Structure 1
Amino acid sequence: MPEAPLPVAAAPPRTRRPGPPPLVVFGFCWLALMLAVALLADLISPYAYTALDLRNRLSPPIGFGGTWLHPLGTDELGRDVLARLIYSIRTSLLIAFGATIIGAVVGTTLGFLAAHFRGLVEQAVLALVDFSASLPFLILALSVLAFFGNSMVLLVCLLGLHAWERYARIARGLALSAGAQGYAAAVRQLGASPWRLYGRHVLPNIASTLIVSMTLAFPEIILLESGLSFLGLGVQPPETSLGSMVGYGREYLTRAPWILLAPAVTIVLTTLSVSLIGDWLRDRLDPTLR
């Protein structure tokens, strides 16, 4: 008699990964909106952000007695709050993106140098990391801007030095861990140069951790820029940013609160969105939490 075929084990059902929580979806949507506003600022702005309308000074927004001529109202010089908000979003995001990239590049490079050369180079980088972490960054930024003056390039470079030591520590630790693993040792034995080893093999394996660190540092830089601009040492007129709008609006808080509320709400929602996305990415990319 022919033998009965052996039963075939059914494949386990694939578990579908849950989608992002509603707050994270909101964060992605809000950031997409902010990026779209920043990229299309010249097309969607109803007025130039320096255009004056003295006959409509301190005009209230829609819903508080205002007209559609100025949907979010006007400031003390009759400048349209919506137009200034649009250009302020572009300026603040440009500063935040530029400073975040500078900090990540500087910190990651120094971390790789410390992991590769070890010895005196590693001690020097770690001493510089400890020295930078011990300095109150806001006081340092105020001193530098007050001494050297205000410029957009200096502001971006200065904010780029914020939290660079975080990237240096992460890059050094992960590079040392990768060096102890088989793939890095094999690539080194094959004669790969340090640039190829760290750029083509080590960096892609630690990129997820660095990206999460960047999403966590991004809202900090936005808040720092807003604080410096609020104190008058950040973005200078005629340029505008979210922090400078808040700084100008504080003098009219009782008479025209809409000047301050629009950029303040934008700062809160933007930093909250990036923080939510960063926490979600950290949980998503961490293999120990799967």
Structure 2
Amino acid sequence: MPEAPLLAPPVVLAPKRTRRRLPLLAIFALSWLALMLATALLADVIAPYAYTALDLRARLAPPIGFGGDLRHLLGTDELGRDVLARLIYSIRTSLLIAFGATLIGAAIGTSLGLLAAHFRGLVEQAVLALVDFSASLPFLILALSVLAFFGNSLGLFVALLGLHAWERYARIARGLAIGANAQGYAAAVRQLGATPWRIYGQHILPNIASTLIVSMTLAFPEIILLESGLSFLGLGVQPPETSLGSMVGYGREYLTRAPWILLAPASVIVITTFCVSALGDWLRDRLDPTLN
């Protein structure tokens, strides 16, 4: 009898790994934020005039397209200062304040949260009591009191805004660190004789960093809006320095005669906060393993 032909084993094709494309909203948010960062870094190069340069003969000149000319693309304010130049320098100041305050708040909150998770007991109760006290205290009233009593400077202003929402990072870091300590990798590293600095700095913190980064992207627009509100009230950035909030504050008096003074910085504030929030939502979806 003829032998039956040997059948080749079936070939199993590995599924193709599809590359995730960035959504259009994330692309727009990243592009806008990159434009804002480039504007802040290159403000001295791309600004057409100094932000304090006066031209009284061209005061309240309209922007181009509304009767203006190429000398002042976005028009001028009540003192003849170029709105575009002031907007460029205001972006740099506002982003500097927002980045600095966000990093300060994240550093303070994360450090106290890890401290509470490590020592537990009395230290943890003291940190939680401080967190509850800070969360119950109206920050706007605290900011008004501190700025009115100590005066205003850019360093004090950034440090004060850094105290905003630090308790959010403390709660997140404490909860995630306690959960990480209960897992096997932290106990294994501890049994190998690693110091607490090594355990938290090289093992626990990198594993909880994604959640903290998302929290920072959510707190960043809050800092921008808070700085704008305080500058609008005259308690933020002081002349001759300028920021987005101070430009809105000065422009409110000329809203009917020269609305471009207020609309330009207000539009930047709205678009920037929207883009940071959208980027935070996208990062949360990408970094959260439960959503994959």
Alpha-carbon shift at residue 3 of structure 1 (Å):
4.0
The unaligned stretches of length 5 or more in structure 1 are none
Q: Root-mean-square deviation (CA), in Å?
A: 0.9
**C-alpha distance in 1, partners of 2:95/2:10?**
60
Q: Deviations over 1:55-101 (max 9, x none)?
A: 00100000110111111000000000000000000000000000000
1:4 aligns to 2:24 (yes or no): no
Q: Counterpart in 2 of 1:93?
A: 95
Larger gyration radius, structure 1 or structure 2: 2
Q: Tell me by how many angstroms 1:232 deviates.
A: 0.2
2:29 to 17, 27, 30: 27
Match of 2:281? 279
Q: Provide the residue aligned with 1:270 in structure 2.
A: 272
| Aligned mates of 1:45, 1:12 — CA distance in 2 | 52
Quote how far apart the aligned CAs of 1:140 are. 1.0
TM-score, length basis structure 1 = 0.98
Deviation at 1:16, TM superposition (A): 3.1
5+ residue gaps, structure 2, are none
**Alignment-mate amino acid for residue 8 of structure 2:** P
TM-score, with length taken from structure 2: 0.97
Matched, 1:208 2:191: no
Distance in 2, Cα, partners of 1:180 & 1:15: 35
Matches within 5 A, 1:120-159: 120-159=122-161
Q: Could you tell me how far apart the structure 1 residues matched to 2:92 and 2:16 are?
A: 47
Matched, 1:177 2:179: yes
User: What is the alpha-carbon distance in structure 1 between the residues aligned to residue 11 and residue 270 of structure 2?
Assistant: 57
Deviations 1:114-160 (A, max 9, x none): 00000000000001111111111111111111111110001000000
Q: How high is the sequence identity, in percent, across the aligned residues?
A: 83
- Aligned to 2:237, the other structure's residue is in SS state coil
Structure 1 runs of 4+ aligned residues shifted over 6 Å read: none
For residue 242 of structure 1, the aligned residue among 238, 241, 244 is: 244
- Name the SS of the counterpart of 2:272 in structure 1: helix
Aligned residues: 289
Distance in 1 (alpha carbons) for counterparts of 2:243 and 2:173: 32
Deviation per residue, 1:147-195 (Å, 9 max, x gap): 1111000100000011100100110011001100011001111111111
Who is 1:115 aligned against?
A: 117
Query: Quick one: which of 14, 18, 34 aligns to 1:15?
Result: 18
Give, as a single letter, the amino acid of the residue that structure 1 aligns with 2:54: L
Q: Distance in 2 between matches of 1:208 and 1:178?
A: 14
Distance in 1 of aligned mates of 2:16 and 2:83: 55
Tell me the amino acid that sits aligned with residue 66 of structure 2.
Answer: F
- Superposed displacement of residue 15, structure 1: 3.2
CA distance in 1, matches of 2:207, 2:17: 26
Aligned residue for 1:7, secondary structure, equals coil
